[in-house]
Structure 1
Amino acid sequence: MTSRTSAPGRDLHSALDRAGFYPRMVADVVEDALDGRDPVSHLIHLETHFDRNEVHRHITVLVLTADVLVIAHVDDQMLDDMGEQVMAQVSTETIPVSRIASVVLSYVYHQPQNYKSSDKIRELTVGMSWSGGQRIDLAPAGCGDPECDADHGYTGTSQQEDLVLRVSAEADGAGAVEDARTFAKALRRASISPAEVHAPSVAPEQRGRVGSRFARGLHQG
């Protein structure tokens, strides 16, 4: 496998092994999507969902190279009650870093009135856009009159993003937050100057919340 020849490539495969989600299959899927490119930085998200009596797992792997961002997503689903018949669904997307329009980082700090430069970020949300996709968050609109019962419609915000990743220190650990920020900074640097990507690799897997237009389409409840 080509990417194993570099230290970042070995770190990526080690992280997939630690995640333990069909590591050989996922590694082959990622290798195929990389098409011989060497990884520069990576981020791994593994999550389990419980739906009534069913358990659904999925992994999303983000790999940055010198010229592309590869996103691989794998779901599994039990086809029988005994869990003996399992199906895996695989999707990959390759985005030239030159097409990445924005990388947005949102930070959360606790007790900002006591902030010190050494304080750790408690939560990090990374948003990326490359195809003009829009996410719209709506909520019922209201007015300042507590006696008013009129229908004011809805209000909301529209954000341009194709993928959103959220990592919190409480759920994932402070190290996971820092690793996500390192990857996001490498991606941001690559999208601004694709020919000057020299970011270090990020080895550990991440367990934040990832939402993407293709990942949501794959999940079956």
Structure 2
Amino acid sequence: MISRTSAAGRDLHSALERAGFYPRLVADVVDDALDGMEPLAHLIHLETHIEHNEVHRHVTVLVLTADVMVVVHVDDQQLDELGGKAMAQVSTETVAVTKIGSVVLSYVYQQPQDYRSSDKVRELTLGIAWSGGQRIDLTPAGCEDPQCEADHGYTGTMQEEDLVLRVSAEADGKQAVEDARTFARALRKVNTAASLAPVPQAGPPAGAEARPGWVGGRFARGHHQG
């Protein structure tokens, strides 16, 4: 099971138990994906949706370490009408924090005209991009003439994202929104530190110091004019 040697490890284990979505299975999958790495922060997002007469649940678990972000996704599916037989589908991905290109947070506040610093975010959307995947949102374009019937094509936005999680106080609770903000802050901190870390410079090959012509990490060629 997940290491309980640190507060973060204990909190992650407790959070999986509270989520109640096959906690032992999910914990073992997360533990295998971490492969001994110590968690720094985590985010668990549980969703339920109804399709015809079936109820489907899925959980997304994000675990941040000093070097990677582990993404675990588990879906369940009923194999009979009574729900006595079920199947869980599991996927895991390990992303180096240096590969994360952007961490996007979108907030929703109610009654902004009455905003106070103590007000809580009502809804948060977390978008993370690391592989260059892009989402395009298109809507019909128009013009300022309300009588115009011409086809103006489409307009839209293109965003890089590999993972998007939406958390709302109404559906998930106020604490879930704060947990998402806390994880996003931790992810940005680790990602920024990794991005700003100095890149080790390759030194000269062994024995190159004794050879003339080694300049700036390369062998310089002499040019002779005849």
* Same topology, TM > 0.5: yes
Gaps of 5+ in 2: 197-226
Higher mean alpha-carbon deviation, 116-125 vs 182-191, is at 116-125
Unaligned runs of 5+ in 1: 197-221
- TM norm structure 1: 0.83
Return the alpha-carbon distance in structure 1 between the equivalents of residues 120 and 45 of structure 2: 21
Deviation for aligned residue 1:122: 1.8
Give 3-state SS (helix, strand or coil) of 1:136's partner: strand
- Larger C-alpha radius of gyration, 1 or 2? 2
Residue 211 (structure 1) aligns with? none
One-letter amino acid of the counterpart of residue 160, structure 1: E
Letter in 2 for 1:67: D
In the TM superposition, what is the alpha-carbon distance from 1:145 to its structure 2 partner?
A: 2.3
| Structure-2 separation of matches of 1:65 and 1:179 | 16
Contact 1:66 1:195 in 2 (8 A): no
SS at match of 2:62: strand
Aligned to 2:114: 114
**CA–CA separation in structure 2 for the residues paired with 1:167 and 1:87:** 26
Which deviates the most, 22-31 or 136-145? 136-145
Deviating runs (4+, > 6 A) in structure 1? none
Alignment of 1:126-141 (within 5 A): 126-141=126-141
TM-score by length of structure 2 reads 0.82
Aligned-partner residue type, residue 130 of structure 1: W
Aligned to 1:15: 15
**Residues 126 and 184, structure 1, Cα contact 8 Å, conserved in 2:** yes
CA contact (8 A) 1:2 1:38 kept: no
1:149 aligns with 2:149: yes
2:2–2:30 contact (8 Å) kept in structure 1:
no
Q: Distance in 1 between matches of 2:146 and 2:183?
A: 47
Q: Report how many aligned residue pairs link the two structures.
A: 196
* Structure 2 letter corresponding to 1:171: A
After superposition, the C-alpha distances for 1:110-160 in whole angstroms (9 at most, x for unaligned) are 222222221212222211111111011111222222222232222110001
Aligned match of 1:60: 60
Aligned to 1:90: 90
1:45 is aligned with what amino acid? H
**Residue 76 of structure 2 is aligned to residue 76 of structure 1:** yes
User: Deviation of residue 163 (structure 1)?
Assistant: 1.0
